Structure 1
Amino acid sequence: VSDQTVHWGYLSRTLKPVISVRSGDVVTIETLTQHASDDRERMIDGDPGAESVFHWTATRKAVVRRGAGPMDASVFGRGAGEGFGVHICTGPVHVRGAEPGDVLEVRILDIRARPSCHPQHRGKLFGSNAAAWWGYQYHDLLTEPKKREVVTLYELQTDVAEPYAKAVYSFRWTPQTDPDGVRHETIDYPGVPVDPASVDKLYGVLAKARVPIRPHFGLLAVAPKESGLIDSVPPGYFGGNLDNWRAGKGARLFLPVSVEGALFSVGDPHASQGDGEVCGTAIECSLTGSFQLVLHKRAQIADGFLADLNHPFLDAEDAWVVQGFSFANHLAELGPQAQTQVYQKSSLDLAMRDAFRKARRYLMQAHGLDEDEALSLMSVAVDFGVTQVADGNWGVHAVIRKAIFPPQAEGEGSGTAPAPSSAPPQPLRNRKL
């Protein structure tokens, strides 16, 4: 990862690929959390890749555009890109032969945390959680001050039988002045450096709590078909900022291809997150992932569930996960102002309806159920949960446990999970970004 291999805060079909691979290749991709500036000493200093991306002085800003908004800061004056979109995305990766109508299968083979390079913390692992202004809690606080943002730094312990994260300290956000002289009253622009002398660190927080680690990537995306720059925050049919912790090691994510080459990007790495992500963020922690990218050509999947796939579909270890959103395709449904309207019009009712319809379709098409069978099963055995209420386009997912459909006797056929392409992947070649 470096300032030459990332795009910050947006997706686009016009991005130039940083690498090209064949179906079946394994790609190792380094990702950075956009919250690393919460504690620069622990999460940036001494790390050449992170220093390259986060470099920002009064004379030079390495990654100027940070978001899908105007470059001249004409709306809110926060900075180039205006912060409409916040995630540091590594990529995109061009998959040779990928065309609209195909499906890209992303096999998540491995995930590992990025260690600190600072001499005082070398080898240790850290992440940050921000209870921020876009979180569900912000207008429903009990104690004063009623509108506040609180950052909690966590240290990860991975060399134990059950890895966990432990809080180190927290601090309330105080106005920060960035190297360009802009004052930030809130966490309103990605990557604003936090001056440690300007905050009061409270140690001993969450002293009795250990957070089980479940590393995953919040953002896994192919390029949307729409023109222009697409805000990285609201997820959609292209994947994107799903924020579903089940997209971890061993899972397979299927994404419909909309542009030539697919243009796969990864970002928003998390050490752990609960369903809902109610305060606005997870434990945001820089991670490195190994992914096998397998292309399913349209002609090869014409008779299966994947043939008309128009949304992200996750095949986890013990369940199939169908992802619903308030708007299945907010970019098309909400018109020219979609990228602002989605933040105003999303609801859990809409997301639940979308997840319900997609789960029904999956059970009927992939498992051969009729509608009445699917409806009964959905009520008695399928778990619907709130994925996130932090990303503009809110999410509800349906978890369909694989135990519901036990393997059948040989020769009977199972009719369950979407099958891999009949064409074997190309020989593996390890590539690193």
Structure 2
Amino acid sequence: MDTLETAAPRLHDLKATPETIQWGAFDAATEPVCRIRSGDFVTIECLTHHAGDAPDLLMDDAIRRIYDAVPPDQRAPGVHIVTGPIHVEGAEPGDTLECRALSFAPRLRYGSNFLANWGLLHGEFGEQERVFIYEADVETGVARAVFQYAFKPEQPAYPGMVTPVDAAARMPALKNIAVPLRLHFGTAGVCPAADGKVSTVPPGPHGGNVDNREFIAGTSMHYPVYRTGALFWAGDTHFAEGDGEVSGTAIEAHVNATVQFILHKGSVTRNPMLDTPTLWMCHGFHEDLDEAVREATLEMIGFLVVKWGITREEAYSLCSVAGDLRVTQVVDGVKGAHIAIRKDLYRP
């Protein structure tokens, strides 16, 4: 696999506006909002669709304009706000687009964790949805809950629904608890191969709502390209998340991310692969978690055969004796799993 050589990299500033975001869909028919070359840097404003959980804390004027500009019936077929698409010069189907995450910074200090009806244990809690609002302290690297309230809308809920501020309903939450910050992309990826509007909810080979909490600054996600120009979107950013994302959400928050895109000619894996300073991580996706686990393991086996020149049987052995198999998320319809292998196992 070859890296495409280009001229000196440029820096692009991609703001989130009604003209540069999509709400709920990846769609190849969308006109690119930014055109770049391999090696270029892009600062992307990424928004959460949970700003309505505490509009007094999670909205500024620009965010309100976006919420006002997109009617609820046009927030479909998924739920996430994604910024893009970004067209990468020279990208063609069969290539690999590397997205290097360089930095993440909160746009606003607050984020929302929603105990949702699609969460793993919704029935165990009387089918009562609940909101926890957290405040990020970047200096100390933690987030703390500032209040919670029961979510009881007077009308059927919809993506981005704004809940009126009721100070009396806001109760204290999680006293003496500090959650380490891990700012990352929840949803990011290239345009899927399918035509039309593709939901942002399920992850897939294109990436999308992968929800890997390890996709932090200093790591790279490698995406298989399906469309000319790749067409990259990002959004659904988080302050922190646990593997599994069992309540249905992470700490959903607005984050400004700076990334670098590197185009590689040829493919790495069939699914997105995360490259950290110490690990390779391959992903699997399926409605059945067992099948997602199986797919992730097969992806890693295939990758190690090419990367380290070992046999499939040898790679299978390594996955069993040195691979860390994890649940990425279990709440997006299509479940996710990933397996991690330490890079330092290879010592030529």
TM class by shorter chain equals: over 0.9
Q: CA deviation at 1:208?
A: 2.3
The equivalent of 1:134 in structure 2 is: 118
Distance (whole Å) between structure 2 residues aligned to residue 259 and residue 400 of structure 1: 30
Query: 1:386 is matched by which residue type in structure 2?
Result: V
The equivalent of 1:50 in structure 2 is: 63
Alignment CA distance shift 1:374-1:152 (3 Å): same
TM-score by length of 1: 0.75
Distance (whole Å) between structure 2 residues aligned to residue 97 and residue 372 of structure 1: 36
The equivalent of 1:84 in structure 2 is: 77
SS class of match (2:274): strand
Any stretches of 5+ residues in structure 1 without a counterpart?
Answer: 56-61, 65-78, 116-124, 177-182, 299-305, 327-345, 409-433
**1:293-308 pair list within 5 angstroms:** 293-298=261-266, 306=267
Distance (whole Å) between structure 1 residues aligned to residue 277 and residue 239 of structure 2: 19
Distance (whole Å) between structure 2 residues aligned to residue 390 and residue 198 of structure 1: 30
The equivalent of 1:361 in structure 2 is: 302
Query: 1:378 is matched by which residue type in structure 2?
Result: C
Which among 216, 233, 244 is matched to residue 212 of structure 2? 244
Deviations 1:161-204 (A, max 9, x none): xx00000000010124xxxxxx12xxx4111110123971111x
The equivalent of 1:197 in structure 2 is: 166
Does the CA contact (< 8 Å) of 1:173 and 1:199 recur in 2?
no
Q: Which one has a bigger Cα radius of gyration?
A: 1
Any stretches of 5+ residues in structure 2 without a counterpart?
Answer: 1-15
Q: CA deviation at 1:352?
A: 1.0
Which among 136, 151, 173 is matched to residue 173 of structure 1? 151
Query: 1:208 is matched by which residue type in structure 2?
Result: N
Q: Is 1:351 matched up with 2:292?
A: yes
Deviations 1:119-154 (A, max 9, x none): xxxxxx11000010001011233xxxx111010000
Distance (whole Å) between structure 2 residues aligned to residue 197 and residue 370 of structure 1: 61
Alignment CA distance shift 1:382-1:199 (3 Å): farther
Deviations 1:257-315 (A, max 9, x none): 111111100011000000000000000010011111111123xxxxxxx35x3210110
Identical pairs, percent: 40
The equivalent of 1:21 in structure 2 is: 36
Which among 325, 333, 343 is matched to residue 392 of structure 1? 333
The equivalent of 2:252 in structure 1 is: 284
Distance (whole Å) between structure 2 residues aligned to residue 89 and residue 41 of structure 1: 22
The equivalent of 2:20 in structure 1 is: 5
Distance (whole Å) between structure 1 residues aligned to residue 21 and residue 52 of structure 2: 17
Task: Supply the RMSD in Å over aligned alpha carbons.
Answer: 1.4
Alignment CA distance shift 1:171-1:377 (3 Å): same
Distance (whole Å) between structure 2 residues aligned to residue 40 and residue 371 of structure 1: 52
Distance (whole Å) between structure 1 residues aligned to residue 93 and residue 304 of structure 2: 25
TM-score by length of 2: 0.92
Query: 1:9 is matched by which residue type in structure 2?
Result: G
Q: CA deviation at 1:391?
A: 1.1
Which among 30, 35, 47 is matched to residue 50 of structure 2? 35
**1:375-390 pair list within 5 angstroms:** 375-390=316-331
Aligned residue-pair number: 333
